Every structure is written in structure tokens, then in C-alpha cells.
Amino acid sequence: MPSEVNGPGSPPVLQVRQLKVAYADRTVVDGVSFTIHRGEIFGLLGPNGAGKTSTLSAIEGLLRPASGALLVDGINAEQQPLAVKALLGVQLQSSSFQAELNIEEIVRLYAGLYGVKLSRAQIRESLHVVGLGEEWGKKFKQLSGGQQQRLALFIATIHKPHLLLLDEPTAGLDPQSRRGLWRRIEELRAEGSSIVLTTHSMEEAQAVCDRVAIIDHGVLLTEGSPSDLIEKHREDPRVLSVAHGAPTLEDVFIGLTGSEIRD
């Protein structure tokens, strides 16, 4: 459960209100609303093309919404975009850094961009904490996939953001690397960050998320804790038609979004 809740008079860390995102004449996010509380890990689930990455991109400021409102710590993202961006940490599906720099130099560069002063000793100690203590002299391309993801997550949180946005952070990782990243996400929550992540993994959603929302065709279909969603949709004929035994979160997901394969 969340380690911290909103106190009296304290706004949620994120409010998404009737968000609409369109590309030309095609609407990809259509009136989505949800709230993220402080100290919460929130999962946004959906098939390919459901609108989850577009939703995340709008929150990040990479896409301009057609309508709706986004508030981070009560600050309107449209009215004060720079103030909101300073509160965010972002890890995209695929991250790449300057090929000619080693890991320590990359950390020093991005710390400088965020206005964070770190000594060499502090950098190496921080890299040790995230499991990269022996890799400080390597170039990014020399790291394994799991190491690259850990570095990208470290860079995204170097300025201690209020809200961390992760787009499929464990995609393509082996089980050991995936579990390691889950542990790091939990540690970041314990250090004070609130987290929104997209994932295709129902195991991941149940393991790390306090609440999840399922989105499809740009519309939010249901929202709640993983266990609450299973209970809420336990008797839904669409869920029962795909379940093998007691319904699972994956059964709820497939029952609500359909069994067809999405490209």
C-alpha cells in the first residue's frame, strides 16, 4: 500500500482531468481521468495502441492535449509547463546516452543539467547503490540491457522528482533484471517519489502497483487495486469466458480488452 497519503490541504501528486489527445483527426485518448496519490505506484495497462503511451507523453509534456487538464502538485501543466517539468522524472521505453561518454561522465552531465552538484565520490557511491558501482568507467553501449535500464532510471531520478513516469521499464529484461528493477522502484517510492508506469505484464502490475487502470481505444475502462479489479469483474461474462479456473488480473484484462492480437 502507499507509504504516504495526501494530507489535509495537500493536492494529489497528479490529477488527469478529461484528457483528450488527437493526431490530426484521430482521437487516441478520449476523456481519460485519474488521480495519483503521494507515495503511490500506479499502473496504466492496455493493449498495443490503447492510448497509454500517449497519455504518458501528454503528462510528460511531449504531446499537447487537445483538451482536458493536467495538474502536478496542484500546478497546471498548460499554464506553468516549466514548473511542472521540474517535478517530473521520465524513463522512456528506449533510452540512449552519448556514445563517447563513460557512465560517470553521463551521470555528471545530467546532474549538471538538473542543477544537482555531485562529487566523484558521491557519483560512485550512488552508482554502487543501483548496482553499477563496478561499471562507472564503461560506455553505455557496453552495458547489458538490465544495466542500461538501471542507469536510465538513475538518471531519471537524479533530481529527486515528485512524480516518476516509467514507460514499460522492464520490457525485454530477463527475470533477474526485472526483479531487480522492481526492487529499485519500491526503494524510490520509499524515498518519496510517486510513480506511474505502463506495462504489459500482469505479474508486474500485481507485484509493484498499489492501483491500476485499464485503458483501451483511448478510454479508461476500470480502475482499482489489482485484487479489487479481480473481485469487481469476477462475475463478468467476458472475464469468465477467458478464465481457466479462478479469474486473475490477466483474465480481467483480456476479458475487458478482447482476445485479438494487437500490433
The predicted pLDDT at position 224 comes to: 97
> How far apart, in whole angstroms, are the C-alpha atoms of residue 224 and residue 117?
40
Domain match, 80 and 32 both: yes
Range(s) of the domain holding residue 75: 11-87+164-169+193-258
On whether residue 214 sits in a domain, the answer given is yes
In a domain, residue 62? The reply is: yes
For residue 184, tell me if it sits in a domain.
Answer: no
Q: Tell me, yes or no, whether 2 lies in a domain.
A: no
Can you give the pLDDT at residue 88?
95
Burial class of residue 237, CB neighbours in 10 A (0-12, 13-18, 19+): exposed
Q: Which three cell numbers stand for residue 195?
A: 510513480
- Rounded-to-integer distance, Cα 196 and Cα 190, Å: 15
Q: What are the backbone dihedrals phi and psi of residue 21, each rounded to the nearest 5 degrees, phi first?
A: -125, 135
Same domain for 78 and 105, yes or no, is no
In CATH, what number is assigned to the domain containing residue 252?
3.40.50.300
- Residue 192's Cβ-side half-sphere holds a number of Cα atoms within 13 Å equal to 8
Residue 263 domain-assigned? Answer: no
124 and 58 in a common domain? no
CA distance 122 to 129: 11
123 and 241 belong to one structural domain: no
pLDDT at 132: 87
Please state the domain count of the chain: 2
Structural domain contains residue 179: no
Which residue, of 160, 184, 219, is where some domain finishes?
A: 160
Mean pLDDT by 10 residues, the chain (263 residues): 48 95 93 95 94 93 94 95 94 78 91 90 88 88 86 91 91 85 89 92 93 96 97 96 94 93 73
Q: Provide the pLDDT for residue 2.
A: 41
Query: Same structural domain for residues 156 and 94?
Result: yes
Name the DSSP letter for residue 259: S
- pLDDT at residue 4, rounded to an integer: 46
What's the pLDDT at 10?
Answer: 67
Amino acid identity at 176 = Q
Helix ranges restricted to H, the chain? 52-60, 81-85, 103-113, 120-129, 145-156, 175-190, 202-208, 226-232, 237-240, 249-257
